[in-house]
Amino acid sequence: MITSLFVKVDGVIKSRISPEVVWVTIFVDGSASSPMPVLPSLEGQLLDGRYHLKRKLGEGAYGVVYEAETLFLGEVVKRVAVKFLSPSCDEAKARVLEEVQAMARLSHPHLLGFRTAGEVDLPAYKGDLFLVAEFADFSLEEKLRGALLSVGETLELVRHLALALEYLAQHRSVHRDLKPANILRAGNCWKIADFGLARTLENSATHISGVGGTPLFMAPESWRGLVTSAVDVWALGAIVQLALCGKPPFGRRTRQDQFIADVIHKKPFIASELPSPFDRIVRGCLEKSPESRPSARQILAWLEPASSLAQTPDLSAEPASCDSLGNEFRVAPDGSGDFPTLRAAIAGAPEGATIWLLPGIYREAIALEKSLHLKAVPDYAGRATLEWGESNVVKILGGAGSLEGIAIRGTAGERDQRFFAIAASGGTWTLTRCEISSDSLAALHFGGSANLKLHDCCLQSLRSDAVLVNGGGSCEFVGSTLRNSGRNGLQLKAAAQILMLEECVVEGNRANGILVVDGEVTLQKCVIADNGRAGMELGDAARVQLRRCRISGNGAQGVMAARGARGEISGCDLSGNRFGAYDIVRGSALERSGNKEF
């Protein structure tokens, strides 16, 4: 069934809904207007010399999907899904290419994994295209046909989807067709699939010339051709309500043109029986204004209190995204893992082992001085959190290893101003997607011979610097955030050296964004904004390289520099600071070129 949403007046196509809505003809079920031709079954065929096609999983307007097995030396290696596409025109071919490009550039545990693509070499489909992706067990749509989700199941679903949407937003990508049929279960993970309508944002919002998506899950602005990350957040809200209550935000039985008018102009239906925190999440996601909707990161924060009450997951289940190497151990807050405590696991595990932390709060402090990998299990609602207030929470003394997906919280508070969340004095460690906070001293302190790399981490100290570098050491921050701290976002002193901050955000700190007393730092494509004093304050022994950064909205100057400061500021935007771009003492060797100052 097709519903036309336009009329032609004097040869010009106009909307029946609103003058702001662009032209569209759409199926009620959200599919496209050109059905696939009927083609013979491919079961039992060998594609591309390595994919043995087993059975048809489904078909739609744009293609047919088969389960397949990959073969190596005649042996089955892995199950995959193969999607065959028959683009009938240049526009359809462009859509296929966009899907391939979108899948190839994105990689995340909660996005369906892309394997390869190519041209079909089988007679019935000669010249068509195929995509090979990770195999999934079933879709959320299929799951909901049997029963609605429980609160625990919904916590898990929302966490997985929010993690994926946060990743997409970080990579300036929007899915645009998030719906139960495109949310697949693979092992212990929910994953987002089908990137045929995905878009990369040029700016914070992008206008497109057509409308795409599935009406039940499309945001009001989608009908106007406006694309932002908020359209996926709207869809998430609609999915959560449907999964818990079976009720969409707008009625299914409304005539199609009236349905879209309702989405644009009327308030959505919010089910009164939604339990906490889903009532807050659904209301936030279904705000009419895209700017009023929460970010994926905010949704994850809203889940935290409920997650801590969730039932501890079955320890017999294998963690997803984890290939067993025979050198892996698990710990749980209640002591039911392979070791009674995390500290015991660190002491007892051999060099090079991986320790998986199940969600919950670990009230203990740890010391790291041998090569280990500590990873939070990503497959359940909740977060693995280390919390301690009697000493430093984590001491990194030596060895080489990694921390991934873990929250580390120092809770010494005002009563004892001596402790850090992490204190590093040696070793080579990588921290990925960690949240590090302290209500005593700095969230992260490092010096000595420590060599750290932090990727996609968030650091905050309520009473001190988010990061304090003192007396040597080197560090690299990529895509990390240092915000809302009681003093500086980052302070370097006593001959400290930082290698690089790249694509980081330093914002909302009470004093300076960055204070360099004595040390060397390079910043590239960073944002230093809305700090109480200067964006950067440079002492006599400071050595800096600033390239293509934005330093704006700070309470004093963008950059304050003492006489001995030296280095280079190039291609930066220093406009919009309260007392101007610079306060540089005459005689400092700070070269400036290509900067925007007003």
Does the reported pTM lie above 0.85?
Answer: no
Q: Would you place residue 61 in the very low, low, confident or very high pLDDT band (cuts 50, 70, 90)? A: low
Q: The tokens of 205 are what?
A: 């919002």
Query: In 363-466, which ranges are E strands?
Result: 366-368, 373-376, 384-388, 394-396, 400-404, 407-410, 422-424, 428-432, 435-438, 444-455, 458-461
Specify the long-range contacts of residues 569-573, CB closer than 8 Å, at least 24 apart: 569/544, 569/593, 569/595, 570/546, 570/594, 570/595, 571/547, 571/595, 572/546, 572/547, 572/548, 572/596, 573/549
For residue range 107-146, list pLDDT tens digits in order. Answer: 777 888 777 777 887 776 776 788 888 888 899 999 999 8
Better-predicted residue by pLDDT, 95 or 354: 354
Q: With residue 238 as reference, give the H or E element that holds it.
A: helix 230-245
Q: For residue 204, is pLDDT > 80?
A: no
What pLDDT, on the 0 to 100 scale, is given for residue 308?
46
Q: For residue 77, is pLDDT > 80?
A: no
Q: Count the alpha carbons within 13 Å of 569 in the hemisphere toward its beta carbon.
A: 25
Q: For residue 199, is pLDDT > 60?
A: no
Burial of residue 425, with CB atoms counted within 10 A of its CB: 0-12 exposed, 13-18 middle, 19 or more buried: middle
Q: For residue 157, is pLDDT > 60?
A: yes
Q: For residue 580, is pLDDT > 50?
A: yes
CATH number of 46-134: 3.30.200.20
Range 386-396 average pLDDT? 93
Range 65-70 average pLDDT? 86
Do residues 122 and 42 touch, judged by C-beta distance below 8 A? Answer: yes
Q: With residue 519 as reference, give the H or E element that holds it.
A: strand 514-524
Judged by DSSP in three states, 551 sits in strand
Q: Count the alpha carbons within 13 Å of 356 in the hemisphere toward its beta carbon.
A: 25
Q: The tokens of 12 are what?
A: 């010009």
Tell me how far apart the alpha carbons of residues 472 and 489 are, in angstroms, rounded to a whole number.
Answer: 18
What pLDDT, on the 0 to 100 scale, is given for residue 253?
54
Do residues 102 and 173 touch, judged by C-beta distance below 8 A? Answer: yes
User: Which residue ranges make up each domain of the chain?
Assistant: 46-134, 140-309, 381-593
The type of residue at 82 is: V
Q: With residue 544 as reference, give the H or E element that holds it.
A: strand 536-547
Tell me how far apart the alpha carbons of residues 23 and 214 are, in angstroms, rounded to a whole number.
Answer: 15
For residue range 1-58, list pLDDT tens digits in order. Answer: 233 333 333 333 333 333 333 333 333 333 333 444 556 788 888 888 778 888 888 7
Better-predicted residue by pLDDT, 86 or 561: 561
What pLDDT, on the 0 to 100 scale, is given for residue 311?
40
Do residues 460 and 466 touch, judged by C-beta distance below 8 A? Answer: yes
What pLDDT, on the 0 to 100 scale, is given for residue 9?
33
98 phi/psi in degrees, rounded to 5: -65, -40
Give the CA distances from residue 385 to residues 359, 365, 570, in Å, rounded to whole numbers and listed in that order: 7, 11, 40
Residue with tokens 């997906």: 405
For residue range 302-319, list pLDDT tens digits in order. Answer: 886 655 444 433 433 443
Do residues 409 and 437 touch, judged by C-beta distance below 8 A? Answer: yes
Among residues 107, 172, 98, the alpha carbon closest in space to that of 131 is found at: 98
Give the CA distances from residue 299 to residues 147, 244, 382, in Å, rounded to whole numbers and listed in that order: 25, 17, 12
Please give the share of the chain, as a percent, with pLDDT higher than 90: 40
Query: In 120-263, which ranges are E strands?
Result: 129-134, 138-139, 173-174, 183-186, 189-192, 199-200, 206-207, 226-227
Do residues 403 and 432 touch, judged by C-beta distance below 8 A? Answer: yes
What pLDDT, on the 0 to 100 scale, is given for residue 98?
65
Burial of residue 145, with CB atoms counted within 10 A of its CB: 0-12 exposed, 13-18 middle, 19 or more buried: exposed
Specify the long-range contacts of residues 389-393, CB closer than 8 Å, at least 24 apart: 389/413, 389/416, 389/419, 389/440, 390/365, 390/419, 391/365, 391/419, 392/365, 392/419, 392/420, 392/421, 392/422, 392/423, 393/365, 393/366, 393/419, 393/420, 393/421, 393/422
Report the side by side order of strands in the sheet with 51-60: 46-47, 51-60, 63-72, 75-85, 129-134, 114-119
> DSSP states of 399-415 as a string?
-EEEEES-EEEE--GGG
Q: Would you place residue 373 in the very low, low, confident or very high pLDDT band (cuts 50, 70, 90)? A: very high
Burial of residue 104, with CB atoms counted within 10 A of its CB: 0-12 exposed, 13-18 middle, 19 or more buried: middle
Cross-strand partners of 47: 51
Rg of the chain (C-alpha set): 27
Do residues 557 and 551 touch, judged by C-beta distance below 8 A? Answer: no
What pLDDT, on the 0 to 100 scale, is given for residue 467?
95
Do residues 519 and 493 touch, judged by C-beta distance below 8 A? Answer: yes
What pLDDT, on the 0 to 100 scale, is given for residue 7?
34
Range 306-334 average pLDDT? 54
Residue 503: partners with Cβ closer than 8 Å, 6 or more residues away: 478, 479, 524, 525, 526
Do residues 386 and 366 touch, judged by C-beta distance below 8 A? Answer: yes
Do residues 406 and 357 touch, judged by C-beta distance below 8 A? Answer: yes
Q: For residue 158, is pLDDT > 90?
A: yes
Q: The tokens of 532 are what?
A: 């109480």
Instruction: Give the range among 120-134, 233-247, 270-284, 566-580 with minimum mean pLDDT.
Output: 120-134
What pLDDT, on the 0 to 100 scale, is given for residue 89?
58
Range 520-527 average pLDDT? 93
Better-predicted residue by pLDDT, 278 or 225: 278
Q: For residue 83, is pLDDT > 90?
A: no
CATH for 381-593, options being 2.60.40.290, 1.20.120.420, 3.20.20.70, 2.160.20.10: 2.160.20.10
Judged by DSSP in three states, 113 sits in coil
What pLDDT, on the 0 to 100 scale, is given for residue 52?
86
Instruction: Give the range among 195-199, 220-224, 299-303, 585-589 with minimum mean pLDDT.
Output: 195-199
For residue range 440-485, list pLDDT tens digits in order. Answer: 899 999 888 899 999 999 999 988 999 998 877 889 999 999 988 9
CATH number of 140-309: 1.10.510.10
What pLDDT, on the 0 to 100 scale, is given for residue 172?
80
Better-predicted residue by pLDDT, 66 or 40: 66
Q: What is the mean pLDDT of the chain?
A: 80
Do residues 325 and 362 touch, judged by C-beta distance below 8 A? Answer: no
Range 250-270 average pLDDT? 77
Range 398-419 average pLDDT? 84
Do residues 290 and 228 touch, judged by C-beta distance below 8 A? Answer: yes
> DSSP states of 298-367 as a string?
HHHHHHHHHHHHSPPPPTTSPPTT----S-EEEE-TTS-SSSSSHHHHHHHSPTT-EEEEPSEEE---EE
Q: The tokens of 291 are what?
A: 């700017």
Range 248-266 average pLDDT? 76
